[in-house]
Amino acid sequence: MGDARFRWIVEVMDMRPADLVLEIGPGSGTSLEYLARELPRGRVLAVDRSATAIDRAARRNARHLDSGRITLWQKDFGRLDPDRVRADFDAPAGFDKILAVNVNAFWTKKRPTAELTVVRELLAPDGALFLCYGYDAASSGPKPEASELTRRLAESGFATTVTTHGDLLAVRAVRA
């Protein structure tokens, strides 16, 4: 059956077959399965600061790792060097899509300046950031107000579009 929220997120992201996608904080990697299915010619770089999360994501997505469709890095996203990321991942123009699902740094920190600076530098010229929040039927957790996310993104020079579906929230952000 799968996780309906990830099907919805992939739909909202309007994936193209050859997109380069960066996921911030993939956790156990369920989302990566959905992304990889939509990218027959694309690739995904997933960055998580947790060694445990990277290990779980690697086990769950072993075949996609072996095929080169998914790459996992254990790093703190806010401390990445965008030039090095583009070079090491062979993404000279940047990423078409950047995804963060239930990543609290974008709304619990006073100002996620470092993270949004890295996002801005890693996005391709026509790329988009997707901040998505919501949980599966078996769990719940904190979720920001859309207005709080859009305000923070606007302060950092992004234009936003908000999409909701039941309890799910997606904020699409592009350079203003």
Tens of pLDDT along 87-137? 999 999 999 999 999 998 888 767 888 999 999 999 999 999 999 998 766
**Could you tell me how many helices (H) and strands (E) the chain has, helices first?**
8, 7
Q: To the nearest whole percent, how much of the chain has pLDDT over 90?
A: 82
Return the pLDDT at 31: 95
Which pLDDT score, from 0 to 100, does residue 1 have? Answer: 36
- Cβ-Cβ contacts under 8 Å for 54 (sequence gap 6 or more): 48, 72, 73, 74
Q: Which CATH number fits domain 4-175: 3.40.718.10, 3.90.1150.10, 2.60.40.10, 3.40.50.150?
A: 3.40.50.150
Report the predicted TM-score, pTM, of the whole model to 2 decimal places: 0.94
Question: Can you give the residue ranges of every domain in the chain?
Answer: 4-175
Give the tokens for residue 94: 């940047």
30-37 helix and 4-13 helix, angle to the nearest 10 degrees: 50
pLDDT tens figures, 125-174: 999 999 999 876 656 666 788 999 999 999 999 999 999 998 899 999 99
Q: Which residue has the tokens 């950092």?
A: 156
